[in-house]
A and B are shown apart, each in its own frame.
Chain A
Amino acid sequence: MVIVIAVLLVVAAVAIYTFLPTAPTTTPTTPTTPQLNKICIVYDIGGRGDLSFNDMAYLGGDRAARDFNLVLTELQSRSESDYLPNLRTLSRSGECVIIVGVGFLLTDAIAQVADEYPNQLFAIIDGYVDKPNVLSVLFKEHEGSAVVGALAAMIAGYYNKTTVGVVLGMEIPVLYKFEAGYYWGIRYGQEIFKEKTGREINVKILFTYTGAFNDPARGKTATEAMLGEGAIVVYNVAGATGLGIFEAVAEAGAREGRTMGPPFGIGVDADQDYIKPGFIIASMMKRVDVGVYTATKKALNYLIHKNETKFGGILELGIAEGGIAMSRVEDLETFLELGIQAGTIKPQDKETILNAVTSMRNSIPSWIWEEAYKLQETLKTNKSLEVMGIKFSDIEAMIPFTADTIANLRSSLGVG
């Protein structure tokens, strides 16, 4: 009996599905002709709630949707196999002003779909696709790295320590510009420190390529080795491997009975200050939200307002464009709100985290913070700052780095 009813139901459903020209009446919002009114975001498998790229992309998309009167459509991916069909489905709908792929994992898929749908506009965050209809949103990580490098040097000086480090993922050219900026920033920070305190310091710089982006255990081992050599600040340029850095510094601090650094880690990509509150001095943030917002604006200009004639190419966001920034307490608040919405952070923890981070920041003399943020301001306009005979613009000129050029730079900045 149940079976008969079920069969009838299915037959009825199929009949309705086949003969109804449009969606059922309960769904008046479904448009019959495609309307170009959507910002479409395809997340990578990290998905929403990652407190990193995906959540930041959402922030940017949400802001753009409100500012430009568009509808935000989000599409999450179950597995890597979903990227291509997700992008294809959105392209075929013809409703997206722009389709944003969040993260370099979507590079291949976007490259392919961009060819198939030449009239559809795409943006890829943190990846590079050379097509006229794809905007590649890249970040000037060397700028932010310089700022956190300077901060690291000044903190080392303040605590009378002489060593700082950086733990990296796999040795691929993309990471060289993090290195370059960081080393330059450290040397520049020494100059500031000398200027402010009259004390000359010469910081020893350690770097380790762990060979992996998702192996926290290796990040921890590498960091412990650096701490053993007296390092006081370690910069994370290793993705998830970097979680091991934070663990190592927090454990080292706890061993000495401290609830906050030293030693400190430095976060990357997102505002990671919340991960081990009190032990992550700051983060070098890539403002993906700014990337999504800017890409949408460019798409509208090209497509609707027609006041731009070219869309594709590289959109490089640095400090001046608001795409790179050293984290502030306010940024952390925004993030924690997102985390609470996604359920990854408990509401009652928010105050605890904020208090821990604030008191950590207060334990460092305010002039150090001021100088670091001042350097960030300066780099917006003035790239001719110079230390050890190397101007910041020289560093920029060396991009893209090769194994040889970075080796040269290391030796001229006295690394290793």
Chain B
Amino acid sequence: MRRKVLIEVLIKTGNVVAAMTVGLIIGGLIMQAYGYDALHAYYSLLRHAIGNPLTDPYPLTSTLSLATPLIFTGLAFAVSVRSGLFNIGVENAVYLGALGVVLASGFLKADTPLVLVIGSLMGLSLSILFALVAASLKVFRGVHEVITTIMLNWVAYWLVEYVRVNVFPDLRDPSKTIPVPPSARIPLLVAGTELSVSIIIAIIASLTTYFVLWYTVFGYELRATGINLIAAKYAGIKTSRFMIYSFLLSAVLGGLAGVCEVAGRPPHYSITTGISNLVGLGFDGIAVSLIGLNHPIAVIFASILIGALNSGVRGMQIEARVPFELVRLIQGVIVVSLAMPGVLSTFRKYLSIRRGRMEVVS
């Protein structure tokens, strides 16, 4: 039995590796076509994503620090997929989590760790509030969550922008909100890098999520709801309640990403213009979750993979002199290839459910 699990893990890892190889080859061909040295580019990508951690940990810490928020958002999305939802609202949870910390910094006006505690609570409450809107519309009115959460994302976006511009702007630099006070910041794990204690929180969140999903009655019922609604109802599970729980769980995890970004990432410790330091983290979580096949532990590794890409593209620009736009293109190709196995299996599941229903009908 253990061997089987190991084999399955190996096969799935192999899928990821195969997918990445395909992505790297396509990306390499594109670079060659544009006249850049693909081998050199990938070599410098690796150098800046991992480097040699023994002599110089900086590239690796950079990778891990960029992976941190993705672990949270990837988890948030994985939880929603596990419960049968496609919750795009992780994105707004990130904004609102961050907003909470900024609001606390602004209201308390004191340099105390209390700001982080109260701020997190405020941020998570806000993201939960937004999630409840989408959840109730889904459960009571049958409105599809993709629609509502996309709209709520914009509501949250402009709410945060309003606060940044009108309520708590940094008068020294009006492109940002006021910063989180120093003693309320999440400390760095390695001095002189961007890697903060957030990553430990993220890993704890992963392990907790894994435990909850597979080792509690709650997780059992949540997963049952996600895979087969009819069977879940048969099993006496109050499925709409679990959809709401799933929304809330995603909101908390997404909110934590926002909290950790704004309280744990040097040098700004604030929300910047256009929320540009947070925008897209929720959407990247979708990719991470798909690469990690919606498994909480695999999400950690998927996040590190994406973190490595984000960190390594620096090297492609500096050393291989590949222009940024092309670098982003290559990155996109690789991410899409990586996500392919997850996309396929998710869709296959969806299709088989549909097909199953049709066979029953006919």
Touch test A–B (CB under 8 Å): yes
Cβ of A105 under 8 Å from chain B = yes
Chain A nearest Cβ from B293, distance in angstroms: 15
Are A74 and B317 in touch, CB under 8 angstroms? yes
Chain B nearest Cβ from A45, distance in angstroms: 5
Chain A nearest Cβ from B181, distance in angstroms: 15
Chain B nearest Cβ from A90, distance in angstroms: 7
The residues of A that contact B62 with a CB separation of less than 8 Å are 85, 88-89
Are A76 and B324 in touch, CB under 8 angstroms? yes
Measured in the bound complex, the distance between the Cα atoms of B272 and A45 in whole Å is 11
Cβ of A170 under 8 Å from chain B = yes
Are A211 and B40 in touch, CB under 8 angstroms? no
**Highest count of chain A CB atoms <10 Å: which of B20, B267, B268, B273:** B267
A window 53-90: CB within 8 A of B: 73-76, 78-86, 88-90
Are A27 and B40 in touch, CB under 8 angstroms? yes
Are B311 and A85 in touch, CB under 8 angstroms? yes
The residues of A that contact B268 with a CB separation of less than 8 Å are 80, 108-109
Are B40 and A169 in touch, CB under 8 angstroms? no
On whether A105 and B310 interact (CB within 8 A), knowing A6-B17, A214-B274, the answer reads: no
B window 288-324: CB within 8 A of A: 310-311, 313-315, 317-321, 324
Interface string of A370-409 (1 = CB under 8 A from B): 0000000000000000000000000000000000000000
Chain A nearest Cβ from B209, distance in angstroms: 24
Are B14 and A116 in touch, CB under 8 angstroms? no
Cβ of B21 under 8 Å from chain A = yes
Are A26 and B39 in touch, CB under 8 angstroms? yes
Cβ of B43 under 8 Å from chain A = yes
On whether A84 and B273 interact (CB within 8 A), knowing A116-B192, A213-B174, the answer reads: no
The residues of A that contact B166 with a CB separation of less than 8 Å are 211-212
B77-85, B89-97, B275-283, B350-358 - the one binding chain A: B275-283
Are B276 and A112 in touch, CB under 8 angstroms? no
The residues of A that contact B171 with a CB separation of less than 8 Å are 172
Interface of A is mostly: helix
The residues of B that contact A287 with a CB separation of less than 8 Å are none
Interface string of B227-267 (1 = CB under 8 A from A): 00000000000000000000000000000000001000111
Are B18 and A2 in touch, CB under 8 angstroms? yes
On whether A112 and B324 interact (CB within 8 A), knowing A24-B39, A86-B314, A214-B274, the answer reads: no
Measured in the bound complex, the distance between the Cα atoms of B44 and A109 in whole Å is 24
Are A6 and B318 in touch, CB under 8 angstroms? no
Cβ of A10 under 8 Å from chain B = yes
Cβ of A230 under 8 Å from chain B = no
Are B324 and A104 in touch, CB under 8 angstroms? no
Cβ of B136 under 8 Å from chain A = no
Chain B nearest Cβ from A333, distance in angstroms: 24
A window 104-161: CB within 8 A of B: 104-105, 107-109, 111-112, 116
A window 16-32: CB within 8 A of B: 17, 23-24, 26-27, 30
Cβ of B58 under 8 Å from chain A = yes
Cβ of B175 under 8 Å from chain A = yes
On whether A24 and B43 interact (CB within 8 A), knowing A84-B194, A170-B169, the answer reads: yes
The residues of A that contact B43 with a CB separation of less than 8 Å are 17, 23-24, 27
Measured in the bound complex, the distance between the Cα atoms of B192 and A90 in whole Å is 14
The residues of A that contact B185 with a CB separation of less than 8 Å are none
Q: Which of A26, A83, A88 makes the CB contact (< 8 A) with B37?
A: A26
Task: Name which residue of chain A comes closest to B169, CB basis.
Answer: A170
**Highest count of chain B CB atoms <10 Å: which of A80, A84, A214:** A80
On whether A27 and B174 interact (CB within 8 A), knowing A6-B17, A111-B267, A212-B165, the answer reads: no
Are B165 and A108 in touch, CB under 8 angstroms? no
Q: Which of A10, A27, A80, A81 makes the CB contact (< 8 A) with B21?
A: A10
The residues of B that contact A90 with a CB separation of less than 8 Å are 318
Task: Name which residue of chain A comes closest to B52, CB basis.
Answer: A18
Measured in the bound complex, the distance between the Cα atoms of B165 and A211 in whole Å is 7
Are B267 and A109 in touch, CB under 8 angstroms? yes
Cβ of B66 under 8 Å from chain A = yes
Are B192 and A89 in touch, CB under 8 angstroms? no
The residues of B that contact A24 with a CB separation of less than 8 Å are 39-40, 43
Task: Name which residue of chain A comes closest to B266, CB basis.
Answer: A84
Are A78 and B272 in touch, CB under 8 angstroms? no
Are A7 and B14 in touch, CB under 8 angstroms? yes
The residues of A that contact B14 with a CB separation of less than 8 Å are 3-4, 6-7
Task: Name which residue of chain A comes closest to B193, CB basis.
Answer: A88
Are B169 and A93 in touch, CB under 8 angstroms? no
Task: Name which residue of chain B comes closest to A73, CB basis.
Answer: B318
Measured in the bound complex, the distance between the Cα atoms of B171 and A109 in whole Å is 17
Cβ of B359 under 8 Å from chain A = no
Cβ of B15 under 8 Å from chain A = yes
Cβ of B200 under 8 Å from chain A = no
The residues of B that contact A27 with a CB separation of less than 8 Å are 37, 39-40, 43, 320
Task: Name which residue of chain B comes closest to A72, CB basis.
Answer: B321
Cβ of B223 under 8 Å from chain A = no
The residues of A that contact B315 with a CB separation of less than 8 Å are 89
Chain A nearest Cβ from B60, distance in angstroms: 12
B window 169-210: CB within 8 A of A: 169, 171, 173-175, 192-194
**Given A2-B18, A214-B165, 9 additional A-B pairs, CB 8 A:** A3-B14, A3-B15, A6-B18, A10-B17, A24-B40, A79-B277, A105-B175, A105-B273, A211-B165
* A-B complex: 8 closest residue pairs judged by Cβ atoms: A3-B14, A76-B324, A80-B277, A6-B18, A27-B40, A108-B267, A80-B272, A112-B267
Report which B residues bind A (CB closer than 8 A): 11, 14-15, 17-18, 20-21, 37, 39-40, 43-44, 46, 48, 58, 62, 65-66, 165-166, 169, 171, 173-175, 192-194, 261, 265-268, 272-274, 276-277, 279-280, 310-311, 313-315, 317-321, 324, 328
A-B contact list, 20 entries, CB within 8 Å: A3-B14, A6-B17, A17-B46, A24-B43, A26-B37, A26-B39, A27-B43, A27-B320, A73-B317, A75-B317, A75-B324, A79-B279, A80-B276, A81-B265, A82-B314, A84-B266, A84-B267, A88-B62, A108-B173, A116-B192
Report which A residues bind B (CB closer than 8 A): 2-7, 9-10, 17, 23-24, 26-27, 30, 45, 47-48, 73-76, 78-86, 88-90, 92-93, 104-105, 107-109, 111-112, 116, 169-170, 172, 211-215
